[in-house]
Amino acid sequence: MATHSETDVLVIGAGAGGAAMSKRLSDGGVKVTCLEQGDWLHPMNHPHMYDGWELERLRTWSWHPNVRMFPEDYPTTGNAAPMMMNGVGGSTLHYAGAWPRFKPVDFRKGTEHGLEGTIDWPISYEDLEPFYAINDAEIGVARRVGDPGNPPRPEGWGPASRGGKVGRKMGRGFDELGWHWWPADNAILTREKNNRMACNDCGFCLGGCPRHAIASTDVSYWPKALANGVDLRVNARVETITTANGRATGAVYIDRTTGARSEVRAKIVVLAANSIGTPRLLLLSAQKGYPDGLANSNGLVGTHLMFHSWSFEDYWFDEPLEGFKGPEPAVLYSQEFYDTDPSRGFVNGFSLQVGTALGAANSALGTNTGKIAPWGAGHREFFNKHFAHHALVYVQGEDLPVRTNRVTIDPAVVDSSGLPVPHVHYDLHENDRRLITWGQERAREAAEAAGPVIDMATTGIGGVGGPPPGWHIMGTCRMGNTPEDSVTNKWNQTWDVPNLFITDASSLTTGAAVNPTSTLQAVSVRAAEYIKRRFADITSQTKTPSNADAPDF
């Protein structure tokens, strides 16, 4: 190898999980190097600032790397469309910042129903609660406390995002039916923090926020991690995690600008390359002693992929709601149907989240569901009735972690560095199909109660006949209870390689019925705290302890 360097902890991936890990470790003085295959992307260069922003988000800025095809991206093959971003900030570079937490019941789904190999998490909500709070404070959550449907949460950095007319409208619908609802937590500043300005309600948050109000990790975590001295190397695509004597020794990466290979040697390696990139790298790291890939002696790496079962419901009302203003993630949510009720014919439940709209082009082009304004005669009438009269309700369901929904390697296709790409297979389970169908009916009921509805449309169940849209990619290297049922223990430590940790969305045991990032970051902060406090033990450990005898902090 031409060049090599040494560090205490090597973090792979600078996205949601990797940024939280790097910052927390470096707060404690740990020497950290982070390798990220993408580059910095200034918020002013996001499509938010383009003239054709409503169209560019579908083309050059698509959430799906196969459409976007930036050099730092890697394509995927298979029947699913995992959506992600590769750069400093990872997929938070184009996320919406919806910030709900998992509920206590979400950590016990193995005991509750155990369907399709669902297992309990090895930790509880109470174990994670302090780390949710630490992470919320870092990102500057917007929140109204007091939700009766969830455990108490600390005050937010600022008040909840403005619900606007859309929020008031749907809130009245839920009230009419006597259903739970509450203003949503969002990772969007409603009060200035450090060098980030508060949200000004300009909308299109998924196109990047020029005010740095939305907590993508390039503006929330990374400035502090860099100030702590973290060595962040961009355009550094990891090819293999190296090992010797049953322990990880570091990684070999390709500099995407020169093609040169270098090695970073580390005492501990933390993988945070997301639920597609992490299993891909473990499988590509097959080597002597690990013929089926690293940390994969039980064959579980890549399995139990989850996306959330999903439906977008567009409703148009007879009054203007100005949905083009305000934050793009949910302004409020109802968790009336969150818990399992077997009489409905399925297990698990869903959230109904109420969101805003985009601009005029989006309205004419079919909003979220493909309800396109007619061309020629009738266009003006349709447009006048529909534009700004719209509310989005999305049904976000907990999908089962099914073993055959999985990431494997497709040796026939390579990325721009010549590395084989992941193949992603996902079939929606019958349970999840039933759940979403029932949820769509409840969403309609709420809209009609808010009424009068003049028009409505739906995406149907998941994608058009295929898997759900893959914007919440979870599972694939789940944490669990024994070396037989999972890839890592309760501290995110792989069972096979004791100094190799996984702290991104791939480690989530189940996916709950809410957006995942606040939870995966809380898990990452918790693992960082463990690594910091038990550093000496981990660096000499030869076998990962069982959860029963895993030492506490």
Residues interacting with ligand FAD, by CB under 6 A? 12-18, 35-38, 63, 83-84, 86-87, 90-92, 94-98, 206, 237-238, 272-275, 277, 281, 329, 471-472, 504-505, 515-517, 520
Nearer to ligand FAD, 233 or 385 (CB): 233
**Rounded CA separation 228/296 (Å):** 34
Cα(161)–Cα(182) distance, integer angstroms: 12
CB of 116 or CB of 255, closer to ligand FAD: 255
Indicate the residue among 84 and 538 with the shorter CB distance to ligand FAD. 84
CB of 94 to ligand FAD, least distance (A): 5
Distance CA 159, CA 161 (A): 6
Q: Decide whether 83 or 421 has the Cβ nearer to ligand FAD.
A: 83
Burial 498-524 (b: 16+ CB within 10 A, else e): bbbbbbbbbbbbbbbbbbbbbbbbbbb
Smallest distance, Å, CB 423 to ligand FAD?
16
Backbone phi and psi for residue 29, each to the nearest 5 degrees, phi listed first:
85, 10
Nearest to ligand FAD of 147, 389 (CB atom): 147
In the complex with ligand FAD, the residue whose CB is nearer, 359 or 545, is 359
Structure tokens at 1: 């190898």
On the 0-12 / 13-18 / 19+ scale of CB atoms within 10 A, 60 is middle
Q: How far is the CB of 460 from ligand FAD (least distance, A)?
A: 19
**Closer Cβ to ligand FAD, 94 or 103, answer by number:** 94
Which residue number, 281 or 393, has a Cβ lying nearer to ligand FAD? 281
Calculated CA dihedral for residues 170, 171, 172, 178, nearest 10 degrees: 120
At its nearest, how many Å lie between ligand FAD and the CB of residue 330? 8
Q: What is the DSSP string of 70-138?
A: -TT----EES--B----STTGGGGG---B-----GGGGGHHHHT-GGG----SS-HHHHHHHHHHHHHH
Q: How far is the CB of 13 from ligand FAD (least distance, A)?
A: 3
Helices (H), 271-324: 274-284
Closest CA to 473 of 386, 540, 399: 399
| Smallest separation (angstroms) from ligand FAD to the CB of 553 | 23
Q: Which amino acid is it at 85?
A: M
* Shortest reach from residue 251's CB to ligand FAD, in Å: 8
CA-CA distance, 55 to 50, in Å (whole number)? 10
Structure tokens at 467: 């898997």
